[in-house]
Amino acid sequence: MTAPAEASPLDAAYSERARLVAFLTRVYPSHWAEDPESPGWPVICVHSPAGQMCWHVGSDDVPLFPAGLETRANDWDGHTTAQKYERLGALGLAAAGRSGRFSAAPGTVEHYVWRLIGATDRMAAGWAETAPGSPRRNELWRDVHSAADIAAAAMEEGPAEAERMTQAGRAMRERECLRRVSVPADDPQPRRFQLHRDVDVSGVSGTGIVADGVVWPDGSADVRWRGDRPSAVHWDRAEHAEQIHGHAGATRFVLLD
C-alpha cells in the first residue's frame, strides 16, 4: 500500500488560508462561483458589510466550508487583492469603532485570524518569484507557520496567549535581525541595503523598493526614502529600523554588501 503523498508547502498554505476563509462564510452571506480561467479552483464569494471578498479554493479544501452553500453565477465586482484586504481590515476596524487600513481591533481573535490570511496570501504571491530553499521562500513559509500557530492559540486559548506568542516571536526576530544587519568585527565596512516592501501596510509608500540605506560600522543606520516626498532618517541601531519598518515581514531589509 502506497502512503499518501505529503502536501507541498504551498498547498498547505492554501489549506491554512481556506480554514480561515471558511470561518468568514459562517459569519457573512456567501456562495460559490466558477472562474473559467482557473478550472479546478472554485471561487468562494463572501458578501460582507465592507464589500465583496473572493478567494480561489483548492478542490481538496472545499469540504472545509459549510455544506449547502449554493453556487451562483460569478458576480465578482472587480476588486483587487489589495482592495479585498482593505475591506477585510475595515470589518475589524468598524467593529472597534475606528477607521484605517490593513488592521483589525487589537486584542481580538479576528486580529490574529486576519494576520494568518495575510501571511498565506503573501506566501502565495511570492512563491513563483522565489527559488526552492532560498532564504526568502523559507521566510514566507516560516511566517505562515508562525501566524497559523498564533491564530490557533487565539481561537483555542484566547488572545492573551496569542499575544504572548507574538511577543516571543518578535524577540526572536529581533535577535536574528541583530545578527543579520551587524557589521562584522573583522571587516568593519559600511553595508548598503534596500527596503523591499511586499505589502503597503500604511497605504503611503507603495510596494517594491521603497528606500535605500547604509549600516555603519558602529551599528547605526541611515535610511533614505524614495517617492514623491523623499526623506532621510538616522537610527542609532540598525535593528531598530527593521523592527519599525518591517511590519511583521511586509517589508524586507535586503543587504547589498
Q: What is the pLDDT of residues 210-234, one digit of tens each?
A: 889 888 888 788 889 888 888 888 8
Pick from 35-39, 127-131, 184-188, 228-232: least confident? 184-188
**pLDDT at site 95:** 46
| The dihedral sign for the CA sequence 215, 216, 219, 222 | negative
Q: What percent of the chain has pLDDT over 90?
A: 9
**pLDDT at site 233:** 87
Please report, for the chain, the start and end positions of each structural domain, with discontinuous segments joined by +.
9-172, 191-255
- Read off the pLDDT of residues 170-196 as tens digits, 9 standing for 90 and up: 666 656 665 555 556 666 788 888 888
Query: In whole numbers, what is the pLDDT of the chain averaged over residues?
Result: 77
**pLDDT at site 82:** 82
**pLDDT at site 186:** 64
Higher pLDDT, 10 or 234: 234
Whether 45 shows a pLDDT value over 90: the answer reads: yes
Whether 93 shows a pLDDT value over 60: the answer reads: no
Q: Grid coordinates representing 151?
A: 491564530
**pLDDT at site 98:** 40
**pLDDT at site 33:** 93
Counting every residue written for the chain, the total comes to 257
Whether 22 shows a pLDDT value over 80: the answer reads: yes
pTM of the model: 0.43
- Mean pLDDT over residues 248-253, rounded? 68
